[in-house]
Amino acid sequence: MYDSLQIEQSSTVERVVDELRRALFDGELAPGTPLREMALAEAMHVSRGTIREALGTLVAEGLATREPHRGVAVSSLSPADVRDVCQARAALEIAGVRRWGSAREQDREALREALADYGRAAEAGINAADLTAAHLGVHRALVGLTGSERLLAMADALSAEVRLALAHVDRVRRNSREQVASHRGLLDLLERGDVDAAVRELEDHLGHAESSMTQAITHRKVPD
C-alpha cells in the first residue's frame, strides 16, 4: 500500500508531509486509509518520530483524522460533509461571479489565466493531483473576483477537503476536457455580461460536482 511513497534520504518532516500530500491528492492513499507510523517509517526510510510529526501536520490541515485507540487515517468525508462543503463553496463562488461587473481587471485576468492553465493541464494529461489543483485554481479565481482576502482565505480553508474528494472523482471520471469546456462556457457568459446565466451555470456545475463526490464516497471501499 505504501510502496509508491519515495523520498530522499535527507528528507525532513516537511518533505515527508509533501510526499504524503502528493499521495493523498493523487488518490494513492484513499479516504479512510490508516496511516500507520511504523509502516510509513519503514517505507519512507525515516524515524517514527518524523512520521509522527508529519501526521500531526496533516491532522492540523484536515487531511487526516486522529481517533482514540485507532490512530491516524486519511480524512473521509460523509455525504453530509460533502453537502456542507459544496454549500460553502457555492456561497463563496457565486458571490465572486456576481461581482464580475465591479471586479478589478487584475482579478478578471486571474480567472482567465487560471482557466487557461487548467486547459493546458487537461491537454497535457498530467497526474490527477496536479490536474485537480489546476481545476480548483479556477474556482479559487472565481472567489477572487470579490476582491476580498478574507473570502479567499475561507476558500483556501475548504480546499483540502474539496481536493481530497475531487482527486478521487477526477481520477475516476477522467472527463477533464469536458470540465474545461464547462468552465469556458461560464467565463464566456461573464465576458458577455450575462451574470445571471453565469450564476445558473455555476450552480449547475457545483450541483454535478456534489453528486459526483457523494457517489464516489458512497461506493468507495475503505482500505484495511
Q: Where are the domain boundaries for CATH 1.10.10.10 in the chain?
A: 13-74
Q: Dihedral through CA 72, CA 169, CA 176, CA 19, nearest 10?
A: 10
Over the chain, what is the mean pLDDT? 86
Q: Which pLDDT score is estimated for 10?
A: 42
- For residue 23, pLDDT over 50 is answered with yes
Site of grid cell 504524503: 20
- Residue 6 pLDDT exceeds 70: no
| Cβ-based neighbours of 149, under 8 Å, separated by 6 or more | none
CA–CA separation, 109 vs 145, rounded Å?
A: 10
Task: Specify the range with the lowest mean pLDDT, choosing from 17-26, 31-40, 190-199.
Answer: 17-26
| Candidate from 18-32, 94-108, 196-210 with smallest mean pLDDT | 18-32
**The domain made up of 79-219 is a member of CATH 2.60.40.10:** no
Tens of pLDDT, residues 115-124 = 999 999 988 8
Taking residues 128-157, what's their average pLDDT?
A: 92
How far apart (Å, rounded) are the C-alpha atoms in residues 190 and 187? 5
Over the stretch 144-185, which tens digit does the pLDDT of each residue have? 999 999 999 999 988 877 877 776 565 544 577 888 999 999
pLDDT at 222 over 50: no
pLDDT band at 9 (very low <50, low <70, confident <90, very high): very low
Instruction: For residue 84, name the pLDDT band (cuts at 50, 70, 90).
Output: very high
13-74 adopts what CATH topology? Arc Repressor Mutant, subunit A (1.10.10)
pLDDT of residue 193: 95
How much is the pLDDT for 220?
58
Does residue 56 register a pLDDT over 80? yes
Return residue ranges of the chain for CATH 1.20.120.530.
79-219
Distance of CA 222 to the CA centre of its chain: 19
The per-residue pLDDT for 8 is 53
Q: Tell me the mean pLDDT in the region 82-93.
A: 93
Report the amino acid identity of residue 126: I
